[in-house]
């Protein structure tokens, strides 16, 4: 990567400059609204009809008034926001080192999927060799997506230590430059560009049709986005600093996946995370540089977490009601809006009678129909499993498919 000491400062102006750099290579993804989700988000959980597929039984009484604006990065190139950071980081590296030098030695990274695809695509675009270290347990569709861009893929163990050890071997062998997934200013600045677009797009939508937003309000009040390594959330915090638009983070809480939330409460960054949350893009501990941003109370309002069932419920809603195809990680912010009572209570208190225009980042859509079907498959009956008619995940065994 470009030396952090020579990187632009982490400011809104730097994010604006980053946006101009990457505009030729990325999509300006759409911002969508959904009246059904507005209605559900603005209804107390205890008042929602029982037995509906979009509800989770709860006694939550918070009743915020919310209008939601979804930034659909699932429609970004390579299917996720990561293209922004990859193109910005590689562009800055080429600017500092020269294209021929970068082409001669190549670039390397480690990623379970979205950053892997993003860097492979950016490298192909610039004619740069890419070496991608991927955990062997990575989603097959993400491995295939990465391979389609022509990099050399090297498989590793799933922990950060195992990944980084393989990366070190690649660097020693090839001289390739590391482009990390999130822990670098150039990555953060690139990821923050989506917030600039969301801010402007929401304002334009409200100007065109005021009924889409809270009556009398012309712009966003806040943005909520997922956090794993923190490159995106810290970039959004940087982009929105000084605008009056508040920023929030969203995490899964399964097996300690809410390391950022825990870290903020204890005042210490969690260095290791070991979780198999369905939000596989958020299984990473927050990086050192992103941590310095999200711990700044002037830049981040707070982080809230949700359960696996809440993520699944939000994912179902996004697909069935808003008609968007996203991966579980991308559903986490919506799950917080719908089901985290602490967050909902805060919205109700601070929004008062007026309410909130809230931007929600759908960060990616790199999943498959098979994965989604498996996620929502009904558990097999005990007697069916005992008789060998279904496997441990509920799938029909070969000898019973025909019948």
Q: Residue 19 CB: number of other CB atoms within 10 A? A: 22
DSSP state of 333: H
DSSP state of 390: B
Nearest partner of 324 among 27, 36, 25, 19, judged by Cα:
36
Out of 14, 42, 111, 112, pick the active-site residue. 112
Out of 14, 71, 77, 82, pick the active-site residue. 82
Query: Beta strand 177-178 with 152-156: parallel, antiparallel or unpaired?
Result: unpaired
| 59 flagged as catalytic | no
Residue 322 and residue 262 in contact, taking contact as beta carbons nearer than 8 Å = no
Residues 6+ apart with CB under 8 A from 385: 392
How distant, in Å, are the alpha carbons of 55, 73, 301, 328, 393 from that of 87?
A: 39, 15, 29, 24, 39
| 5 flagged as catalytic | no
Q: Residue 383 CB: number of other CB atoms within 10 A? A: 8
Tokens of 352: 């008062």
Query: Whole-angstrom Cα distance, residue 398 to residue 403?
Result: 10
- Residues catalogued as catalytic: 82, 112
């Amino acid at each position: 990567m470009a030396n952090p000491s020579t990187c632009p400062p982490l400011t809104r102006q730097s994010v604006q400059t980053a946006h101009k750099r990457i505009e030729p290579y990325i999509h300006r993804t759409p911002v969508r609204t959904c009246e059904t989700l507005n209605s559900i988000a603005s209804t107390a959980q205890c008042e929602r009809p029982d037995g509906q597929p979009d509800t989770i039984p709860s006694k939550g009484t918070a009743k915020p008034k919310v209008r939601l604006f979804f930034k659909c990065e699932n429609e970004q190139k390579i299917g996720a926001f990561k293209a922004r950071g990859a193109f910005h980081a590689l562009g800055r590296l080429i600017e500092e080192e020269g294209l021929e030098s970068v082409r001669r030695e190549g670039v390397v990274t480690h990623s379970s999927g979205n950053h892997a695809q993003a860097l492979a695509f950016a490298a192909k675009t610039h004619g740069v060799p890419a070496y991608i270290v991927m955990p062997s347990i990575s989603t097959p569709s993400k491995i295939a997506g990465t391979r389609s861009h022509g990099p050399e893929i090297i498989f590793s163990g799933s922990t950060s230590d195992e990944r980084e050890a393989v990366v070190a071997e690649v660097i020693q062998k090839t001289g390739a430059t590391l482009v990390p997934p999130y822990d670098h200013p150039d990555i953060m600045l690139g990821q923050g560009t989506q917030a600039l677009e969301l801010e402007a797009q929401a304002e334009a939508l409200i100007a065109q049709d005021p009924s889409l937003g809270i009556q009398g309000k012309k712009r966003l009040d806040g943005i909520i986005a997922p956090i794993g390594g923190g490159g995106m959330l810290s970039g959004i915090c940087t982009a929105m600093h000084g605008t009056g638009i508040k920023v929030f983070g969203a995490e899964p809480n399964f097996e300690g996946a809410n390391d950022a939330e825990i870290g903020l409460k204890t005042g210490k960054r969690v260095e290791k995370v070991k979780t198999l949350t369905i939000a596989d893009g958020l299984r990473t501990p927050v990086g050192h540089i992103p941590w310095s941003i999200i711990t700044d109370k002037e830049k981040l309002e707070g982080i809230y977490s949700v359960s696996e069932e809440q993520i699944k419920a939000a994912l179902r809603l996004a697909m069935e009601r808003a008609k968007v195809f996203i991966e579980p990680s991308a559903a986490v912010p919506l799950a917080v809006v719908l089901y985290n009572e602490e967050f909902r209570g805060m919205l109700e208190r601070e929004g008062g009678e007026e309410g909130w225009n809230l931007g929600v980042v759908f960060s990616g859509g790199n999943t498959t129909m098979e994965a989604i079907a498996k996620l929502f498959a009904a558990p097999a009956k005990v007697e069916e499993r005992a008789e060998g008619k279904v496997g441990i995940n509920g799938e029909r065994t070969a000898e019973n498919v025909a019948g």
